Amino acid sequence: MSSRVEEIVRRRVLTEVEKYPVFRRAAVALSGGKDSGSLLHVFTESYPDKEVIPIHLNLGIGGFSEASERFARMQAERAGLHLVVFNLERELGFTILDARRIYPKVCSVCGCFKRYLLNRIAFELDADIVLTAHHLEDFLVRMFKSVLNAGFEELARFKTYLPKNGNLVAKGRPFCRVPERMIAEYALLKGIPFLSEKCPIGRKVNIERFRKTIEILARRQSQKLLYFSSLTKLAEMLQNCGAITIQELKPCSSCGFLASGETCSFCTRVRKIKAFLERGQASSSPNTR
Ligand code: SF4
Ligand code: ZN
């Protein structure tokens, strides 16, 4: 017999997924945490006919990344699926810890890498859609921040589903109406193994402040859903009113994936990090002393 939480989570996921155009193969971003572990579980249970490819990015953040990969493997195995792992250090020659030496606000570069790599891997594996486990509070924080900082372009670009665009695979966020607390309950109910440790280098002070504010404002879960609907409507109005110009995308001069600039931010940052590390190696090598 299923519990009330299980029913709500499943129903909200189904409501979202049914809005997407028909798809065959889904890539699911699996971090090893409770959110993506639960997403993989609820999705594979609800859609046994779909092909699912779990993808894990090992960012090279010491023991944290090792543990994350271990949990992602357990979650994939439990679902009877093979986990695709992209190891940053092996594939690119550096880790997120290296990237932090040149980009102290590392979450922004890490987020950029995760978005880019998930898309590239999903594209290469011929997936029709990438599913990520962003939940209700993730969306509320992002939208609240945009409104309060007058980031209207960012708000106008806000979507819980992004259709395929050339080599950019469609993106879906089936947990967008599910509060984090409910996901945690779901994970516990279903006995999903997950890593509860937080990333040791993430500095999300602003995000935490916004999260706390939302918790104070929304005493009940239903209020969060109300804020979500209001902000989504505002985002749609901004998209439709013509006041915001949505930038045209063109192929990155280096990798060919669609981007807003001449060279995409992933390629630009990778080049910078590699140059920085090479300079460091050259200056510490005996020949250059
Ligand atoms: Fe990357 Fe920041 Fe998340 Fe850590 S907290 S995994 S650095 S985005
Ligand atoms: Zn590029």
pLDDT of residue 204: 76
Task: Band the pLDDT of 288: cuts 50, 70, 90.
Answer: very low
Assigned domain for 198 exists: yes
Residue 67 sits in a domain whose CATH number is 3.40.50.620
Assigned domain for 280 exists: no
Range of the domain at 131: 4-246
Average pLDDT over residues 67-95: 98
* Ligand 1 mutation target, pool 57, 110, 116, most atoms within 8 A of CB: 110
pLDDT of residue 243: 74
CA 88 to ligand 1 centroid distance, Å: 14
* Ligand 1 mutation target, pool 95, 106, 117, most atoms within 8 A of CB: 106
CA 107 to ligand 1 centroid distance, Å: 5
Q: Which residue has the tokens 């996921």?
A: 13
Q: Between 222 and 40, whose confidence is greater?
A: 40
For the residues of 223-285, what is the DSSP string, one character each? HHHHHHHHHHHHHHHHHHHS-SPPPPPEE-TTT--EESSSS-HHHHHHHHHHHHHHHHHHHHS
Assigned domain for 38 exists: yes
Sign of the torsion formed by the C-alpha atoms of 251, 254, 256 and 261: negative
Task: Band the pLDDT of 285: cuts 50, 70, 90.
Answer: low
Assigned domain for 88 exists: yes
* Ligand 1 mutation target, pool 96, 112, 211, most atoms within 8 A of CB: 96
pLDDT of residue 194: 98
Model's pTM, two decimal places?
0.93
Assigned domain for 255 exists: no
Q: Give nearest CA residue, ligand 1 atom 5.
A: 202
Residues 45-61 pLDDT 10s? 999 999 999 999 999 99
Assigned domain for 274 exists: no
In total, how many domains does the chain have?
Answer: 1
Assigned domain for 213 exists: yes
Contact 97, 61 (CB under 8 A): yes
Assigned domain for 289 exists: no
Lowest mean pLDDT among 136-140, 193-197, 227-231, 237-241: 237-241
**Binding pocket residue ranges, ligand 1, CB within 6 Å:** 59, 96, 106-107, 110-111, 199, 201-202
pLDDT of residue 283: 74
**Is the pLDDT reported for residue 76 higher than 50?**
yes
